[in-house]
Amino acid sequence: MDLRQRPFRSVLYIPASKPRALDKARGIQVDAIIFDLEDAVAIDEKVAARDTLKKALEIDGYGARYKVVRINGFDTEWGLDDAKAVAQMKADAVLLPKVAAPADLDALAQITGHLPIWAMMETPRGMLNASAVAAHPKLEGMVMGTNDLAKELQCRFRADRLPMLTSLQLCLLAAKAEGLVIVDGVYNAFKDDDGLALECEQGRDMGFDGKTLIHPAQVAVTNTAFAPSDAEIDLANRQIAAFEAAKADGQGVAVVDGRIVENLHVASAGEILAKAKAIDALAKE
pLDDT tens, residue by residue, 235-260: 999 999 999 999 999 999 999 999 99
pLDDT at residue 284, rounded to an integer: 80
**Residues 6+ positions from 40 with CB-CB distance below 8 Å:** 13, 14, 15, 16, 17
pLDDT digits (tens, 9 = 90+) for 137-194: 999 999 999 999 999 999 999 999 999 999 999 999 999 999 999 999 999 999 999 9
Digit-coded pLDDT (tens) for 55-90? 999 999 999 999 999 999 999 999 999 999 999 999
pLDDT per position as a tens digit, 88-138:
999 999 999 999 999 999 999 999 999 999 999 999 999 999 999 999 999
Give residue 47's pLDDT band: very low, low, confident or very high (50, 70, 90).
very high
Backbone dihedral angles phi then psi of residue 95, each to the nearest 5 degrees: -110, 125
Closest CA to 147 of 114, 166, 128, 123: 123
Mean pLDDT of the chain: 96
Least confident of 4-8, 29-33, 230-234: 4-8
Instruction: Name the E strands within the chain.
Output: 10-15, 32-36, 66-70, 93-96, 117-121, 139-144, 181-184, 210-213, 254-256, 259-261
| pTM of the predicted protein model | 0.95
Average pLDDT over residues 1-17: 90
Helices 79-86 and 46-59, interaxial angle, to 10°?
10
- Whether residue 233 is predicted with pLDDT greater than 80 in this model: the reply is yes
Q: What is the DSSP letter of 160?
A: T
pLDDT of res. 283: 84
Q: DSSP assignment of 206-250, as one string?
A: HT-SEEEESSGGGHHHHHHHTSPPHHHHHHHHHHHHHHHHHHHTT
What contacts 20, CB < 8 A, 6 or more positions away?
none
86 within 8 A of 116, measured Cβ to Cβ: no
Spatial CA neighbour of 201 closest among 159, 164, 173: 159
Spell out the residues 6+ positions from residue 231 whose beta carbon is closer than 8 angstroms to its own.
none
Q: Is the pLDDT of residue 1 over 60?
A: no
Q: Is the pLDDT of residue 4 over 80?
A: no
In DSSP terms, 12 is beta-bridged to 33, 213
Task: Look at residues 84, 187, 102 and name the one whose alpha carbon lies nearest to residue 94.
Answer: 84
